[in-house]
Chain A
């Protein structure tokens, strides 16, 4: 069955970087983009970007451009999302999700909490 297992809670200081992982299993990876979405408490989900595992192409939401990097490790079947220059506004639960415009996001990871604290 399709499954995404994400890394655990992270506590970072302002200005630091965080790297969250998402191990995928149970499906043909090349057929689906891997997306990253975050949700801060009481806020709407916010899409950050996606990666095409087949060729490594990425697209990032403009507001994160230059600060986010999404990668895919084929041998580990794992996607990584790294966000730099953290501020308190980056405190959120970060999710990986599979999908495209035709399918919606049909499978999600369990979420990784990122806390930013001085």
Chain B
């Protein structure tokens, strides 16, 4: 089984930059996706292939990866960004999710 590890919580002041990490063995070699999840809503795709944004996702959302860690960065954080964030990767044709990070703005 493949393990993805995220910090349980991150706090940021409005207008500042939030960074959320996701660690997994040789993660740089895998395509990582990131999702935003708000209570009562379905997850929403923020990034795919580590750093690509689907249409409708603003440029202040970005992603990167190095070694065993992928990072989601949200700049100019707003109150509407307060949510749970999950990373996701494939390993041997199986999908794994991170434990999630609660972002508090």
Contacts and interface: CB of A to CB of B under 8 A. Distances in A.
Contacts of A95: 42-43
Given A44-B98, A47-B95, A104 B88 contact: yes
B66 to A, nearest CB: 20
A106 B45 contact: yes
Contact of A102 (B31, B86, B94, B97): B31
Contact of A44 (B31, B45, B93, B100): B100
B49 to A, nearest CB: 7
Contact of A47 (B49, B54, B94): B94
Interface in A61-85: 61-62
B100 A103 contact: no
Given A45-B43, A45-B86, A101-B90, A106 B100 contact: no
Contact of B42 (A47, A59, A110): A110
For chain A, the bracket of interface size reads: 20 to 34
A61 B42 contact: no
Nearest to A47: B95
A35 B88 contact: no
Interface in B43-98: 43-45, 47-49, 54, 86, 88, 90, 93-98
B88 to A, nearest CB: 7
A115 to B, nearest CB: 16
Contacts of A103: 48
Contacts of B99: 44
A44 B33 contact: no
In the complex, the 8 A-B pairs of residues with the closest C-beta atoms, listed nearest first: A104-B48, A104-B33, A47-B95, A108-B42, A45-B97, A101-B90, A44-B99, A44-B97
Interface of A: 35, 37, 44-47, 59, 61-62, 95, 97, 101-106, 108-111
Given A47-B94, A95-B43, 19 more contacts: A44-B97, A45-B43, A45-B86, A45-B88, A46-B97, A59-B94, A61-B94, A95-B42, A101-B31, A101-B90, A103-B48, A104-B33, A104-B35, A104-B54, A105-B33, A105-B45, A106-B48, A108-B43, A108-B44
